[in-house]
Structure 1
């Protein structure tokens, strides 16, 4: 008997390399085999949508994208708050797995964590992992807003029926500066890799790099673009997400 796929979100971080003629890179992570979502191979950061992602405490962290705007991009989602929850989930999982936290100061400028911010984040992440707090409360304590406006929803795909569980995954794309650095203490992934889509596909075809099915399809979508900006602009112009 077929089971209903779980909702999930995935975020492709893309950066332009310095120098003429270079192709943009994307960030791939390798999860531990006990994590449950697309494990054992390289993938983009992501995971299951959780109820906390679409509660008011989380939605309040997204001044750049409203629930109504999210619903326009995802008309097949049952409620506007749940639609915006996918944006929140993508950023939450990217922080949990890849140590990148895309956030803004209260004045709207992109957050660049200070040394004191990093110490606070380490403590708060440990508290989050122990279950003493949650991601939205952590952000409220930091007094930072999630940079949901940086995310472009561009694809929707289903993971294979086996192995279970199966996921209905909403895929987002965000451009980040080349010199952006991860925060300390990666915890849910055993490795991460910046690589061009072209190189990742070549290594996947040769058997050198194992990727998930959705990851391979996304790499194929992104391979033609010469810059991260051109990929972003292309998908901004589309009226609907691509089916994977």
Structure 2
């Protein structure tokens, strides 16, 4: 029997942000994962998923994206996957008409979503061809690296996940797909954390920590600026089982979260 740890699958997620209308706080788009899905079933999460071969293939077509200085192929694949997965899971599309500085309008994004989202989710359409067919450029430059979490080694299903921040395109409200996710909501980090405390929401550990950190910022602009200034420190929690049946997780202080030691019922 092999003792090698399971490989961590590359994955990406986006924290889509907007300023709350009635308070000096941020709202973030989140979804409830289908309870029939094996990983994080029933959890309230940000849109995202695994990097796939089609994401890597788009790297060979630089006319389809606007990158940021210093991006390498690995970084590009995470950014592309983040935008594709967000479109699949929420219908929100971070892209520009070719030659334009502004993101596509909500009306046009809605038309593309209605025409292609279901086929893309079913594996019957190529994201590259959708983008090319509508003469779009993926707005990779809108994504600000925020965090990188790797599932602890002892666990059988592992991910190496980049978290990005992005300001939500104006008037693109987003909606769950009804398959991988069964509900969706815009809410503040404070509301999500209160909901987890009173049992309304189930939050994975990395999601909780990122919501706590995000909730310290009063606006989207402040959150984006803080993320640009802080280097990303990769977090792979060290896991220790406790006599009470719970799990103790240790994360690096340099990652900028609200502590180093946490006791949880589940490490993911």
1:77 is aligned to none
Aligned to 1:110: 103
- Give CA deviations for 1:77-103 in whole Å, capped at 9, x if unaligned: xxx212211001111111111111111
2:148–2:232 contact (8 Å) kept in structure 1 = no
Matches within 5 A, 1:165-176: 165-176=157-168
* Contact 2:67 2:76 (8 Å CA) reproduced: no
Aligned match of 1:195 in 160, 184, 187?
187
Change (3 A) 1:186 1:103: farther
Distance apart, 1:144 and its partner CA: 0.9
Distance 1:162 1:101, change over 3 A: farther
Q: Does 1:62 align with 2:65?
A: yes
Indicate if the aligned counterparts of 1:14 and 1:175 stay in contact, CA closer than 8 A: yes
Residue 19 of structure 2 corresponds to residue 26 of structure 1: no
1:15 aligns with 18
Match of 2:139 in 1: 147
Aligned to 1:76: none
CA contact (8 A) 1:16 1:178 kept: no
Q: TM-score, normalised by structure 1?
A: 0.84
Contact 1:159 1:213 in 2 (8 A): no
What is residue 128 of structure 1 aligned with on the other side? 120
3-state SS of 2:64 partner: coil
- Given the superposition, is the C-alpha separation of residues 48 and 237 from structure 1 closer, same or farther in structure 2, using an over 3 Å criterion? same
More strand by share: 2
Q: Which has the higher helix share?
A: 1
Query: What whole-Å deviation, never above 9, does each CA across 1:192-237 have from its counterpart, x for those lacking one?
Result: 1111111211111222211112111110111111111101001111
For residue 166 of structure 1, report the CA deviation from its aligned partner: 1.3
Larger radius of gyration: 2
Q: Is the contact between residue 8 and residue 48 of structure 1 (CA under 8 Å) also seen in structure 2? A: yes
CA gap of 1:194–1:83, structure 2 versus 1, over 3 A, is same
Give the gaps of 5 or more residues in structure 2.
236-250, 252-268
TM-score (norm 2): 0.77
Q: Quick one: distance in 2 between partners of 1:28 and 1:183?
A: 10
Aligned counterpart in structure 1 of residue 51 of structure 2, from 46, 49, 52: 49
Contact in 2 for aligned 1:9/1:86 (Cα 8 Å): yes
CA contact (8 A) 2:176 2:184 kept: no
